[in-house]
Amino acid sequence: MYNQKVMDYFLKPINMGDMPDADGVGEVGNVVCGDVMHLFIRVGKNPAGKEVIADVKFKTLGCVAAIATSSIATELAKGKTLEQAMAMTNQDVVRELGGLPPVKVHCSVLAVDALKMAIYDYLKKQGRPIPEKLEKEAQRIRKDTENAEAHTHPHVE
């Protein structure tokens, strides 16, 4: 069902973990199956003085595809400028993994959404203006996450 690259990222995920002093945090849920992802970014500057994703970590409760896409999405995002990172799509992630089973493509949306929300959170915390496109996407993602939470109760004691 899954190709070897997906399995490799699933069995040995890269960039998995917490980042207590993150500059931005994205928390998203998946409407389709009720899974949850948290993504943390640290923002730095590249030699040209542009803001880039200097470090990124994630935590996921989800299937094999959710874990593998989270991991590869963080890897792809690392070093990108904020503009480049915001422009990433789930197709980029799926392509990089060499494809996913059709029923699992929705899992890859979780990762890029979480990245967008982390950038959104960073800009908000900095008191900076939110690009119109990001604002629109954030609205959609928040609505999806609310729906996902209505589906499930992700906090387990």
Partner 1 sequence: MEVYLDHAATTPIHPEVLVAMQPYFTEQFGNASSLHKWGREARKAVDLAREQIADKLNIMCREVIFTSGGTEANNWAIKGVAFTREASGLKGHIITQKTEHDCVLNACKWLESRGFAVTYLDVDEFGMVNPEDLKSAIRPETFLVTIMHANNEIGTVQPLKEIGQVIKTANPAILFHTDACQSFTKEPLNLKDLNLDLITINSHKIYGPKGVGALVVKQGTKLVPLLHGGGHEFGHRSGTINVHGIMGFGKAVSLASPEKNRHMQTLRDHLIKRVLAEIPGALLNGHPTQRLVNNTNFSFPGVEGEALLLRLDAHGIAASTGSACSSNTLEASHTMMAIGRKPELAHASIRMSLGWENTLEQMDYVVEVLKDEVKQLRSMSATWRRE
Footprint of partner 1 (CB under 8 A): 2, 7, 10-11, 13, 16-17, 27, 32-38, 59-67, 103, 107, 151-157
63 in active site: no
Nearest distance from C-beta of residue 36 to partner 1, angstroms: 4
CA dist., res. 14 & res. 19, Å (int): 14
Nearest distance from C-beta of residue 107 to ligand FES, angstroms: 3
CA dist., res. 114 & res. 137, Å (int): 11
Residues that bind ligand FES (CB under 6 A): 30, 33, 35, 62-63, 65-66, 104, 107
For residue 15, what are its two tokens? Answer: 């960039």
Q: What is the three-class DSSP state of 131?
A: coil
Query: Of 43 and 68, which CB lies nearer to partner 1 in the complex structure?
Result: 68
For 8, 10, 11, 45, 145, the CA distances from 14, given in Å and listed in that order, are 10, 9, 10, 22, 24
Other CB atoms within 10 A of residue 89 CB: 11
Nearest distance from C-beta of residue 47 to partner 1, angstroms: 33
107 in active site: yes
Query: Of 65 and 112, which CB lies nearer to ligand FES in the complex structure?
Result: 65
Nearest distance from C-beta of residue 131 to partner 1, angstroms: 26
Please report where in the chains the tokens 């949850």 appear, as a residue.
36
Q: Name the catalytic one among 73, 107, 110, 112.
A: 107
Rg of the chain over CA atoms, in angstroms?
A: 15
Q: Name the catalytic one among 33, 63, 88, 134.
A: 33
Hey, which residues are catalytic here?
33, 107
